[in-house]
Amino acid sequence: MDKQPNSAARTAPVWSIEADGLSLGVAVDNRLCSPSFFEAVAHTSQLSGEQLAIETPGVVSSDFPRAAIRTVGCLFPEGRAQLLPAKHLPVRQTGLPEKALPAKNQVKPELQLLAAGAPPTRIRPPRDVVKLEDRLRILLEPPLEALLSAESLRFAHHPFPYQLDGIAFLYPRHQAVLADEMGLGKTMQAITAVRLLAHHGQVRRALLVCPKPLMTNWRREFALWAPELPITLIDGSSAQRHWLWQQSGDVVTIANYEAVLRDLGDAAGEVRHFDLVILDEAQRIKNQSSATNQVVRSISRGRSWALTGTPIENSAEDLVGIFEFVAPGYLHANMKPRTMGRAVSDHVLRRTKDRVLSDLPPILFRDAEIELSAQQAESYHLAEDEGVVRLRAMKQEVTIQHVFELVLRLKQICNFDPTTGESGKLERLEADLEECAASGRKAIVFSQWVQTLTELSGRLARFGPLEYHGQVPHRRRDAVIEQFRDDPHSHVLLMTYGAGSVGLNLQFASYVFLFDRWWNPAVEDQAINRAHRIGSTSPVTVTRFLTVGTIEQRINQVLAEKRELFDAVFSDDISAPSLGLSREEVFSLFDLKLPASPGQEAA
Cα dihedral 465, 471, 496, 434 in deg (nearest 10): 10
Q: Does one domain contain both 351 and 367?
A: no
Among 324, 356, 388, where does a domain finish?
356
Q: Please indicate whether residue 454 or residue 46 has the higher confidence score (pLDDT).
A: 454
The count of other CB atoms within 10 Å of the CB of residue 10 is 16
Q: Does one domain contain both 268 and 338?
A: yes
- Is residue 147, in this structure, part of any structural domain at all? no
Per DSSP, what are the bridge partners of residue 52? none
Model pTM score: 0.57
| Best CA proximity match to 423, nearest among 434, 414, 410, 433 | 414
- Is residue 223, in this structure, part of any structural domain at all? yes
If one counts the domains in the chain, the total is 3
Among 306, 331, 356, where does a domain finish?
356
Q: How far apart, in Å, do the first and last CA atoms of the chain sit? A: 62
Residue 537 pLDDT: 67
pLDDT, tens only, 7-23 = 333 344 444 444 333 33
- Is residue 298, in this structure, part of any structural domain at all? yes
Residue 398 pLDDT: 74
Provide the b/e sequence for 193-230 (b: ≥16 CB within 10 Å). bbbbbbbbbbbbbbbbbbbebbbbbbeebbeebbebbb
- Is residue 327, in this structure, part of any structural domain at all? yes
- Is residue 586, in this structure, part of any structural domain at all? no
- Is residue 317, in this structure, part of any structural domain at all? yes
Q: Does one domain contain both 346 and 399?
A: no
**Residue-averaged pLDDT of the chain:** 74
Q: Sheet holding 252-256: strands in order across? A: 231-233, 252-256, 206-210, 274-280, 301-307, 175-178, 348-349
Q: Please say if the pLDDT value at position 81 is more than 70.
A: no
Q: Does one domain contain both 226 and 341?
A: yes
Q: Does one domain contain both 204 and 328?
A: yes
Of 53-67, 128-142, 278-292, 362-376, highest mean pLDDT: 278-292
Here the CATH number for the domain that contains residue 519 is 3.40.50.300
Among 356, 382, 409, where does a domain finish?
356
pLDDT, tens only, 531-577 = 776 666 677 888 999 998 898 888 888 777 666 644 543 344 443 44
Q: Please say if the pLDDT value at position 514 is more than 90.
A: yes
Q: Does one domain contain both 322 and 210?
A: yes
Burial class (CB in 10 A: 0-12, 13-18, 19+), 453: buried
- Is residue 563, in this structure, part of any structural domain at all? no
- Is residue 603, in this structure, part of any structural domain at all? no
Pairing of strands 252-256, 466-468: unpaired
Here the CATH number for the domain that contains residue 174 is 3.40.50.10810
The residue segments making up the domain with residue 191 are 152-356
Q: Does one domain contain both 374 and 345?
A: no
Q: Does one domain contain both 231 and 311?
A: yes
Q: Does one domain contain both 232 and 200?
A: yes
Q: Does one domain contain both 273 and 227?
A: yes
Q: Does one domain contain both 300 and 376?
A: no
Q: Does one domain contain both 347 and 400?
A: no
